[in-house]
């Protein structure tokens, strides 16, 4: 649920049209993502490329915000390492490259209690224009 943090930040700070790029597996598994503006490639190969290009074109409009998971899909918070996939660069190259990048990593920790409410601990990168 750490991806809800960027949704909240957008509502309070950026106030842009929110879009979420996810893979088809997560799009089908986490059904309410579509109500947050989620979209996904249905297949592999050309369809993925077209979806990344679509995301890049969305970024050409300064009123849009596209949330991406650069690792390609949603993972547990408890993995030791995640590698970024190449799709992020494809998306940026498909845009006019007049974009701001907001990098956020979230982690939910329950500390010593078994089931307290989640407390988001986040690291927010500095925005920069590319």
pLDDT at 89 exceeding the cut of 80: yes
Cβ atoms 97, 128 nearer than 8 A:
no
How many angstroms separate the CA atoms of 17 and 64, rounded?
A: 5
Residue bearing the bigger pLDDT, 32 or 48: 48
List pLDDT tens digits, range 94-118.
999 888 887 776 666 666 655 555 5
Give how far the C-alpha of residue 1 lies from the chain's centroid of Cα atoms, to the nearest Å.
12
How many residues in total does the chain contain?
130
pTM of this structure: 0.72
79-82: Cβ within 8 A, 24+ apart: none
List pLDDT tens digits, range 114-124.
555 555 554 45
Pairing of strands 64-68, 119-124: unpaired
Q: What is the pLDDT of residue 57?
A: 95
């Amino acid at each position: 649920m750490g991806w809800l943090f960027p949704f909240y930040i957008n509502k309070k700070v950026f106030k842009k049209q929110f879009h979420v790029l996810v893979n088809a597996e997560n799009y089908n598994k986490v059904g309410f993502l579509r109500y947050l503006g989620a979209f996904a490639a249905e297949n592999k190969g050309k369809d993925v490329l077209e979806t990344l290009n679509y995301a890049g074109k969305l970024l050409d409009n300064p009123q849009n915000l596209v949330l991406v998971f650069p690792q390609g899909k949603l993972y547990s918070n408890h993995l030791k390492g995640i590698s970024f996939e190449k799709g992020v660069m494809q998306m940026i190259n498909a845009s006019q490259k007049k974009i701001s990048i907001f990098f956020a990593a979230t982690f939910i920790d329950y500390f010593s209690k078994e089931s307290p409410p989640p407390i988001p601990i986040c690291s927010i990168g500095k925005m920069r224009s590319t």
